[in-house]
Amino acid sequence: MKIIDIFKLQNKEKIEIAKALFKDAYTNANYTLKPSERKKINTYFKRLDKKEPIEYILKKANFYGRTFFVNKNVLIPRVETESIIPYLLKFDSVIDIGTGSGAVGITIKKENPDINVLITDISTKSIYVAKKNAKGMDIKIIHTDLTNKIPINEYKCIFANLPYISNMDTLDESVKNYEPFIALYGGLNGIEIILRLIQELHTKKWNGTLLLEMDPQQISLIKENKTIIKDQFGYNRFIQIDY
Ligand SMILES: C[S@@+](CC[C@H](N)C(=O)[O-])C[C@H]1O[C@@H](n2cnc3c(N)ncnc32)[C@H](O)[C@@H]1O
């Protein structure tokens, strides 16, 4: 098999895998793959054919123009989530609860190093990935459940993209079979964890701005006084609750 045979497949993702695997050799269309290279690329292609997201195969995902390390223990950051970044950049202190790969918190710190950023997650495996992505950065990282153990009064803004799926059967195979359950499932009504966070902040008498990413269909279930923010595709994607 030559590199040109991969081009002939006309499959964007397979070509991307070849590019990542063969780097310089990739520009030489007549390069013949060594048996070990052939074996490796075929294993990757098989994973792709079984609908595994390319981000998990290549262990990287793009978010807001940067590349983040990802593995099957974290949600692949979604392009819709990028729409909230300009809103978060208006604050001088932000907590990203349920950070997953760390994409949101790390992005705001990279965009403005003066912002005091704390990122948290309930999953130790997510914390491992977030720490890897935040290496060398001045970002606090806490492994915890929602606002437990967090000095919330030191922060003016909390962002959370918590799990909001109520029925896993409705998901695409590539999501259901590969992305972590803990990042997706939000209880029977889908918004159990979101409601718990809203309530915790009332109980703790927090003063600040909560920005939540939600399923557009579930926003009407939140009875708080809220402002709706659209994503770049025009969907009602985020809500802002002022405490
Ligand atoms: C939908 S993913 C979002 C990941 C990331 N913020 C993003 O936008 O790409 C939800 C994340 O919330 C975390 N999570 C779930 N329940 C949590 C809880 N009770 N407290 C903190 N984090 C939680 C999951 O481990 C997962 O990383």
**Given the CA of residue 164, which atom of ligand 1 is nearest to it?**
1
Residues 26 and 90 occupy one common structural domain: no
Collapse the DSSP code of 2 into the 3-class scheme (helix H, G, I; strand E, B; otherwise coil) and give the result. Answer: strand
**Cα distance between residue 25 and residue 203, in whole Å:** 59
Q: What is the pLDDT of residues 55-77, one digit of tens each?
A: 999 999 999 999 999 999 999 99
Residues 174 and 62 occupy one common structural domain: yes
Q: Is the pLDDT of residue 24 over 80?
A: no
Maximal CA-CA distance, the chain: 66
Residues 36 and 86 occupy one common structural domain: no
Q: What is the mean pLDDT of residues 40-51?
A: 95
Residues 224 and 168 occupy one common structural domain: yes
List pocket residues of ligand 1, CB cut-off 6 Å: 74-75, 77, 81, 97-101, 103-104, 120-123, 126, 145-146, 161-163, 182-183, 193
Domain boundary among 49, 68, 83: 49
Quick one: pLDDT at residue 72? Answer: 96
Q: Is the pLDDT of residue 82 over 90?
A: yes
Collapse the DSSP code of 45 into the 3-class scheme (helix H, G, I; strand E, B; otherwise coil) and give the result. Answer: helix
**Cα distance between residue 89 and residue 25, in whole Å:** 41
Q: Is the pLDDT of residue 168 over 80?
A: no
CB contact at 8 A, 194 and 162:
yes
Residues 106 and 15 occupy one common structural domain: no
> Cα(195) to centroid of ligand 1, in Å?
14
Residues 123 and 223 occupy one common structural domain: yes
Q: Residue 159 maps to which CATH number? A: 3.40.50.150
Task: Look at ligand 1, atom 26, and give the residue with the nearest C-alpha.
Answer: 183
Which one-letter DSSP state was computed for residue 98? S
Q: What is the pLDDT of residues 198-225, one digit of tens each?
A: 999 999 999 999 999 999 999 999 999 9
Residues 186 and 225 occupy one common structural domain: yes
- 23 pLDDT band, cuts 50/70/90, is confident
In the numeric block, which tokens belong to residue 140?
């606090």
Give the CA distances from residue 219 to residues 78, 107, 230, in Å, rounded to whole numbers and listed in that order.
Answer: 18, 25, 12
Residues 42 and 115 occupy one common structural domain: no
CB contact at 8 A, 102 and 120:
no
Quick one: pLDDT at residue 166? Answer: 86
CB atoms within 10 A of CB 78: 14
CB atoms within 10 A of CB 37: 16
> Cα(162) to centroid of ligand 1, in Å?
5
Residues 217 and 127 occupy one common structural domain: yes
**Given the CA of residue 145, which atom of ligand 1 is nearest to it?**
20
Task: Please list the residues that pair with 241 across neighbouring strands.
Answer: 210
Domain boundary among 33, 49, 65: 49
Element (H, E) at 73: none
> Cα(43) to centroid of ligand 1, in Å?
30
50: CB partners within 8 A, 6+ apart:
none
Residues 93 and 140 occupy one common structural domain: yes
CB atoms within 10 A of CB 193: 20
Range of the domain at 40: 3-49
In the numeric block, which tokens belong to residue 216?
């557009």
In the numeric block, which tokens belong to residue 65?
């123009």
Residues 110 and 191 occupy one common structural domain: yes
CB contact at 8 A, 209 and 85:
no
Residues 15 and 115 occupy one common structural domain: no
CB contact at 8 A, 43 and 13:
no
Domain count, the chain: 2
Give me the helices (H) in 11-80, please.
12-22, 35-49, 54-58
Residue with tokens 């990802």: 70
**Given the CA of residue 96, which atom of ligand 1 is nearest to it?**
6
**Cα distance between residue 163 and residue 215, in whole Å:** 10
Residue with tokens 């969907």: 235
Which among 73, 120, 126, 166 is the best mutation to test ligand 1's pocket, defined by most ligand atoms within 8 Å of the CB? 126
